[in-house]
Every structure is written in C-alpha cells, then in structure tokens.
Chains A and B, each alone.
Chain A
Amino acid sequence: MSNGSKKGERPSQENRPPQPRRPKTARAPAAGPSRMVRLFVSMALLLHVGVLFLYPLANSRTSTSVKAIAQSPYLRWYADPLYLNQGYGFFAPDPGPGMLVEYEVFDDSGEIITEGTFPDAERLWPRLRYHRYKMLADQLQHPDGEPRMTYVLERFARHLVRQHEGQRASIRSISHELVLHGDWLGDESLGLAGKPIDDKSLYRTLMHVQQTRADVERADAKVAPLTEPARRAEAIEPGDQL
C-alpha cells in the first residue's frame, strides 16, 4: 500500500493520516525518573525497608548486635520521628490476662465523690473509647514490674483527684486471669465443674495506691516549664528512673 511518497521517505505533515486527538489531560505514560534519581531513591528505599525490618526484630530477646544497631542515634533520628520504631505483637507471644483499674475519689469529709472501674464497656462508648481505656489499664503490665506499676497508678490517682476536685483518691490494679480451656470445660469423671470465664477466683488485686490533694500539689510544684527539656529531665527524680 502506497501513501504516495517515495519508499523510505517520511510522509509530510499534510499527507499524514489524521491522528485521533488526545483528551485534554491525557499524557503519555511517563518515562519515569532519570537513572540518578532512581539510584538516589533506591538507596533511600533500602534504608527505609531495612528500618522496617530492624525495629520489630529488636525485641527483648534479640541479639546484642541488633539491639545496638536499633539503639544507634544514626537510625533513631529517622525511625523515631516517623513512628517506625514499633513491634507488631498482636496477641503474641500468648494472649495475656486483662487488666482493670478500680478507683474511688473522696471529698474532705471522706465521702465518696465518684467511683468506677475502667475499662467499662457500658460507660465508655464508642468501642474505640473503651479500647483506649483498656490500653491505659493494660500498660500496668510492664516489664519493669512493680516500681513501674506504682509510678503509673500514682499518676492515675493524681489525675482523678484533679478531675473530680477531691481530697483523696484510692486506686487498685486488678488482674483478670484467663481461664484455661480445660478448667472451663471441667471434668465430669472427676466431679470437677467447669469454671466460668468471669469466675471471682480469676480476679486478683495486684496493687493499691492512694494519693491526696497534698501529693498532687507537691507533684504539680515539681513539674518544670515544659519548654525546657533539661529542666524537664530534672523533674524526674532519680528513683523515678525505673
């Protein structure tokens, strides 16, 4: 099929068959970034993906080498601000007991102003709000153990005194142990009845802490201006460093 031009000769503008017009915004697929840009981006991607693997790997059981790399300020300046220094347990290694916090706030005459428990599904709605309070209670299970629990419970109690303008707050951390499957089933042949999942014997008070208005005032006086990191550090007593 000839278009009227000589063999090998390109058709002139006016002899070219009409091309369909492209829509206004349609562009040809981009050829992509240059080789240099690709190299630079590739290095950044390698660093990023390395960080993604590193921090979940740097758990309490990992090698000292991984821990040292993960703690290095050269990586943490990148991972910390981007919130990448996280692990992803999700019910690992085993689903643990639930934690509850029970409290009472008293006025000057010793009367209860308010009392409650959190997390409380009936009071804390919607479910996400309930879950925030559940996490608040769950943080009492900490590898630092009792000193940490005391430290956190004291702060919870102080918040309750401030919030309800009370004279004293009494607060308890309670562990709700999970009933094992075998115990729930029981054993008819041995005459053992199954234990329900809310059996009273599964609840155990771990710690009881009280804070008074005077404790709150003392703590408030100790807190340095928040814009000065050095003075903030001073606000932490040596005994607080768990």
Chain B
Amino acid sequence: MKNLRSSLAEYWRDVWQAWNQFWFTPTAPCTLSAIRLFTGAMLFYTHLVWSRDLAAFFGPKGWLPIDLLNLDRRYGVEGEAPSFLWTLFQHVESVGLLWSLHLVALTVFFCLMIGFFSRTSAVLAAIISIMYAARVTPGAYFGLDKINCMLALYLMLGPCGARYSIDRLWRMRRGATGEVPKSVAANVAIRLIQIHLCVIYLFAGLGKLEGETWWTGEAIWLAIASLEYQTIDVTWLGHHPWMMNLLAHTTVFWELSYCFLIWPRLTRPWMLAIAVGMHAFIGLCMGLLTFALVMLIANIAFLYPQTVRKVLDPLARRFSLLLLGDKAG
C-alpha cells in the first residue's frame, strides 16, 4: 500500500514536472516576434481588402443586415441563450463612423506588423479582428478569419515585440544592445498556438473521415474540378488517378497525425514540409492564397527559435544598421 502511494506520488510529481517544463520553460521570443510580424501583415492586408466593400458588408443595411445577424445570434429565440459574441459594428449606422473605425483598425494592424507599441497593438488587434469576424459570421467569413483571430489572440499574451520591431529598434537606440531575455509568457503563447493548430488539423482530418470521397480519393478531383475555387487548372491530374488518391490519403493521414508527429524532433521537419506543400497547393491552385499563408504563419510556431533567428536575424541586422547606424551595436 505504501509502495502504491509512493509510486502514485512520484507519478504526479513527474506529471507536474513535465507540465511545468512544457508550459513554463522560458523561451526566446524571436518565434513569437516573427509570428507577430507576419500576422500583423496578414491582418493589415485582410482588413485593407474590406475597404472596397466596407458599408456593403459592415453597414446595418448591407448584404448582411442586422436582422440576419440577430437571427443567427438567436436573439429573442425562446429557450435559447443568445450568443455572447459581440461586435461594435452591430451598433454602427453611420458610414462616417464606420470608416473612422476602419481607419483606426488599419492603423492598429499596421502598428502590430511593424512592432510599434507591440503589446498594446496586439491586444487591440485581437479585439478588433474578432469584432470584424463576428460581424460577418455567418455570411462572409472563412478559415482565414478563424486563424487571424486565433493568432491575434495569442500574440497579446507574450512579448511579441521583443524582436523584429520598432520597439526593439527604439530600445537599441537607447543603448540596449544585449540579448533579449527569454520569457515564460512567450513560451505560453507559442504553446497555445501549437496546441490550437493541432486541434484545427485533427478536426479537419476527423471531419474528412465522415465523407465518402476522402476515402475513395475522389475528393481531390472534386476540389480541383470546382470552377469557383480554381485559379490554376490542374484537372490534368484526372488522367492520373493514383496521384489524386495519393494526395487525398496523404492529406487525411497528415491532418490526423499532425497532433502526434509534429512534436518529435525527427518527424517535425517532415510534417512541416508537407504543410508547406499542401498549403501551397491550396493557395496556388484553389485561389486560397491568404488562407494558405496564414496557416503557414501559424506553423512557424513549430520552428525552433534558432531556425527563426538564422533566417530573420541577418535581415533585422541590416535593417537596424540602416536605421540606427553605429547604435545598432
């Protein structure tokens, strides 16, 4: 009995230790900073594109009028709790005010991209991106909005402006030349992006198992034969069914196994390489370039900090030398 108790105690000690190591080990904030840079650019672009149709999509009497939003939020439906999803846009009637809010939003996303008041920008970017997505859900939202909101949400948890930012240049200008300290908050933010990404791919894979065409391999054909998605005609694949079958089976296997095989050091590069291939195919052939890019941005969370530094540090150094000269250190 005593043995069992001590074994259990030891087990829970190990669990706590592993949990601690996973969540609370300080990490270099360069990966989070790189995600901030690219997510900021993506948020800026995504919302800039809304400018063409701002009143049509966000106005009270556009394609998605307020009564449609109320219906989907289940306001006033007996026996159902209304949605807690709130957006400022459901209260905005004036086009002038709508544009003012839009300009503020674009400024915030731009600040996030360049890393100017990064943490504040990240908090505002999360709130604003959710408000935009909430106004067009359902109606005109898709995977891009989900991932944009997810990344913005986690960026605000860590020091996302510690590297590759105006904030960093400002600190360097004031004499800070040393190494950026490691951070527990950066680790928590990165871990949350990693886990969220695993959930996304897992359920994308599980959802496909419910269909018939992902089993038969026909799904790839149906995807490339959809004129409404097609940007590059790859229907020639239809003459090579084995290739389509391979793509369908690889997609499902990869999505289902991502949450297991992305963690080990040995399999991680392979999983990331397939992610690049799969999203490049979706982006280039099916016209979902922004969605493909934002998924790849999320996948950066699985790059080791030293890999991110190898790629971005030389560029950041050139940039800081250009702006600060000798003060760049």
With A24-B176, A132-B53 already in contact, the answer to whether A90 and B71 are too (CB < 8 A) is no
Docked CA distance A57–B71 (Å): 23
* A223 proximity list for chain B (CB < 8 A): 60-61, 65-67
* B244 proximity list for chain A (CB < 8 A): 181
Docked CA distance A49–B198 (Å): 11
Question: Residue-by-residue, is B187-202 near A (CB-CB < 8 Å gives 1, otherwise 0)?
Answer: 0100010011001110
**Which interface residue of A95, A176, A229 has the most chain B CB atoms within 10 A?**
A95
Docked CA distance A202–B50 (Å): 32
* B229 proximity list for chain A (CB < 8 A): 98
* A100 proximity list for chain B (CB < 8 A): 228
With A33-B24, A88-B200, A95-B213 already in contact, the answer to whether A134 and B56 are too (CB < 8 A) is no
Docked CA distance A227–B25 (Å): 46
Residues B203 and A56 in contact, CB atoms below 8 Å apart:
yes
- CB of B42 to closest CB in A, whole Å: 10
- CB of A21 to closest CB in B, whole Å: 10
Docked CA distance A53–B46 (Å): 27
Residues A233 and B200 in contact, CB atoms below 8 Å apart:
no
- CB of B322 to closest CB in A, whole Å: 21
Docked CA distance A91–B64 (Å): 24
Residues A91 and B68 in contact, CB atoms below 8 Å apart:
no
Residues A83 and B90 in contact, CB atoms below 8 Å apart:
no
- CB of A185 to closest CB in B, whole Å: 7
B319 at the interface (CB under 8 A from A): no
Residues A52 and B196 in contact, CB atoms below 8 Å apart:
yes
- CB of B154 to closest CB in A, whole Å: 10
Residues A128 and B49 in contact, CB atoms below 8 Å apart:
yes
Residues A98 and B228 in contact, CB atoms below 8 Å apart:
yes
Residues B53 and A48 in contact, CB atoms below 8 Å apart:
no
Residues A178 and B289 in contact, CB atoms below 8 Å apart:
no
* A152 proximity list for chain B (CB < 8 A): 68
* A52 proximity list for chain B (CB < 8 A): 195-196, 199
Residues B188 and A29 in contact, CB atoms below 8 Å apart:
no
Residues A232 and B75 in contact, CB atoms below 8 Å apart:
yes
* A42 proximity list for chain B (CB < 8 A): 19, 23
- CB of B280 to closest CB in A, whole Å: 15
A209 at the interface (CB under 8 A from B): no
Stretch of A3-11, A69-77, A105-113 with 4 or more beta carbons under 8 angstroms from chain B: A69-77
Docked CA distance A126–B53 (Å): 12
Interface set, chain B 35-93, CB cutoff 8 A to A: 45-46, 49-50, 52-53, 56-57, 60-68, 70-71, 75-77, 81, 83-86, 90-91, 93
With A25-B176, A184-B238, A241-B71 already in contact, the answer to whether A30 and B140 are too (CB < 8 A) is no
Docked CA distance A7–B210 (Å): 75
Question: Residue-by-residue, is B1-36 near A (CB-CB < 8 Å gives 1, otherwise 0)?
Answer: 000000000000000000110011110000000000
With A94-B214, A178-B225, A185-B238 already in contact, the answer to whether A241 and B77 are too (CB < 8 A) is yes
- CB of B186 to closest CB in A, whole Å: 11
* B19 proximity list for chain A (CB < 8 A): 42
Docked CA distance A100–B142 (Å): 17
- CB of A102 to closest CB in B, whole Å: 14
Residues A94 and B213 in contact, CB atoms below 8 Å apart:
yes
Docked CA distance A22–B178 (Å): 8
Residues A155 and B195 in contact, CB atoms below 8 Å apart:
no
* B200 proximity list for chain A (CB < 8 A): 56, 88
Residues B85 and A83 in contact, CB atoms below 8 Å apart:
yes
Residues A48 and B192 in contact, CB atoms below 8 Å apart:
yes
Docked CA distance A53–B202 (Å): 10
Docked CA distance A92–B211 (Å): 7
Residues B210 and A129 in contact, CB atoms below 8 Å apart:
no
Docked CA distance A238–B75 (Å): 12
B325 at the interface (CB under 8 A from A): no
By beta carbon, the residue of chain A nearest B181 is: A27
By beta carbon, the residue of chain A nearest B179 is: A26
By beta carbon, the residue of chain B nearest A38 is: B24
A159 at the interface (CB under 8 A from B): yes
A93 at the interface (CB under 8 A from B): yes
- Point out residues on B near A: beta carbons under 8 Å: 19-20, 23-26, 45-46, 49-50, 52-53, 56-57, 60-68, 70-71, 75-77, 81, 83-86, 90-91, 93, 130, 133-134, 136, 138-144, 146, 149-150, 153, 171, 175-184, 188, 192, 195-196, 199-201, 203-204, 207-214, 218-219, 221-223, 225-229, 231, 235, 238, 241, 244, 287-290
Extra contacts, 4 of them, besides A30-B184, A128-B45, A163-B56 (Cβ < 8 A), are A23-B178, A93-B214, A234-B76, A236-B75
* 16 A–B contacts, CB within 8 A, in A order: A25-B180, A32-B25, A52-B199, A53-B199, A56-B200, A71-B81, A83-B133, A87-B207, A88-B200, A88-B204, A93-B210, A100-B228, A132-B136, A226-B91, A236-B67, A236-B75
